[in-house]
Structure 1
């Protein structure tokens, strides 16, 4: 993709809308919608890099209640011709076809490479990548197993949603509450993962969410690791202007 002059690419992650309740997260949702409204005039594309929702599960004919302001704004922006890309996170990994069918927003379940103005990007949520985190990796295999998803689908949505929301907040492997502090480059799994990827191929930017920390770390003279932060404490987002990448606060 070549970015037109005066246009930018925007990145955001980890809104966790619905946590701890839909009502409690509504001020954060309104702030996020205001941000979307503020960037649509110069956005060449928007990347939502996971955990937009604190929990999301698509039944055959049912999706979770709420988030009307966000979904409406995303539909408006998508309908205007601005491409939006969505990467599932560990809290909304049960995305299926709803975003693509209703909002024309493609959904990615794995990290993906992009090239903008000859700059190469490796983009993903970041959960389960790199060394360590073995407990979550085992749990993710269960959650993404087709049999498990099929069984969960048969639980009544009112019950299933309550179970999932409780687990999302209380289970530390899912919530990640214990990890919301910088561990040092040598202990940051996504930094180590990015360095390992650089042994195979050059990327200018690795862009991830998941850690809830706004981070910008040089991996070598030409490559950087970016973590986008969150929309709970930091309200940070990324901007690429066609030449350089910058983290900003809204």
Structure 2
């Protein structure tokens, strides 16, 4: 059987509430069961959790169905990569020690079957958004992370839950209309960033999350930008079969 490489991002587990998140988690586990027989590598490309912070001996409650499934897949020899997103950037070594998952902090460049890939969650890239880029440096600063670790977990998680409830993971309006819309090639900041990188180095595929909108855009004759979308509305993912990269949907509405 041909082994595939799978990419997904922006599950935002924990948002907007426990009940809704559990339904989403169950769907994700069904997807993992579906891809497992053909999967050689799995790239979870950021914002898998709406918030994650690892204290030295404490991690957030919940998500045991997902973590158990990932542990099983890892034990079977499937290589799993976890990218730090803007919501779960405070991942440390828990997933590596317990699940054998490789943690990726920024970009990850690889070649598979003659195709070159540029992978990144997508936050902090491209033009604009200077305020977030400044905050990102603060949030990722080891001293700032150490200072937050001094806050007792009950208080720290309370702060996190308050922050998550106002996050942009809520990608629909009250009447169920998806907020994210395609803004045109010239205004899609990750496509703009990919084109700038492409001027210096060739990549067949640029794959990002963060944007919350599934996109498959042709950058040049032999280079594409794929955004993985999210799992609050689209349930989208990408798969590379050794020849071609495709953007797919799981149990889509």
TM-score after normalising by structure 2: 0.93
Who is 1:9 aligned against?
5
Query: CA separation of 1:132/1:7 partners in 2, compared to 1, >3 Å: closer, same or farther?
Result: same
Task: Tell me the distance in 2 between the aligned counterparts of 1:176 and 1:186.
Answer: 26
Task: Tell me the distance in 2 between the aligned counterparts of 1:21 and 1:153.
Answer: 24
Query: CA separation of 1:35/1:176 partners in 2, compared to 1, >3 Å: closer, same or farther?
Result: closer
3-state DSSP class of the match of 1:40? helix
Q: Does 1:56 align with 2:56?
A: no
Higher mean Cα deviation, 211-220 or 180-189? 180-189
Task: Tell me the distance in 2 between the aligned counterparts of 1:177 and 1:12.
Answer: 17
Who is 1:245 aligned against?
245
2:114 to 101, 114, 118: 118
Task: Tell me the distance in 1 between the aligned counterparts of 2:15 and 2:67.
Answer: 17
Who is 2:183 aligned against?
183
Structure 1 residue 8: deviation in Å?
Answer: 0.7
3-state DSSP class of the match of 2:243? coil
Aligned length: 244
Task: Tell me the distance in 2 between the aligned counterparts of 1:24 and 1:37.
Answer: 20
3-state DSSP class of the match of 1:57? coil
In structure 1, stretches of 5+ residues that fail to align are none
Who is 1:27 aligned against?
23
Task: Tell me the distance in 2 between the aligned counterparts of 1:140 and 1:113.
Answer: 21
Task: Tell me the distance in 2 between the aligned counterparts of 1:151 and 1:93.
Answer: 15
3-state DSSP class of the match of 2:37? coil
3-state DSSP class of the match of 2:72? helix
Task: Tell me the distance in 2 between the aligned counterparts of 1:192 and 1:207.
Answer: 13
Q: Does 1:137 align with 2:133?
A: yes
Task: Tell me the distance in 1 between the aligned counterparts of 2:12 and 2:170.
Answer: 12
Who is 1:229 aligned against?
229
Deviations 1:179-219 (A, max 9, x none): 73322111111101100000110000000000111100000
1:108 to 104, 111, 114: 104
Who is 2:175 aligned against?
none
Who is 2:203 aligned against?
203
In structure 2, stretches of 5+ residues that fail to align are 173-178
Query: CA separation of 1:107/1:37 partners in 2, compared to 1, >3 Å: closer, same or farther?
Result: same
Give yes or no for contact 2:45–2:209 (8 Å, CA) kept in 1: yes
TM-score after normalising by structure 1: 0.94
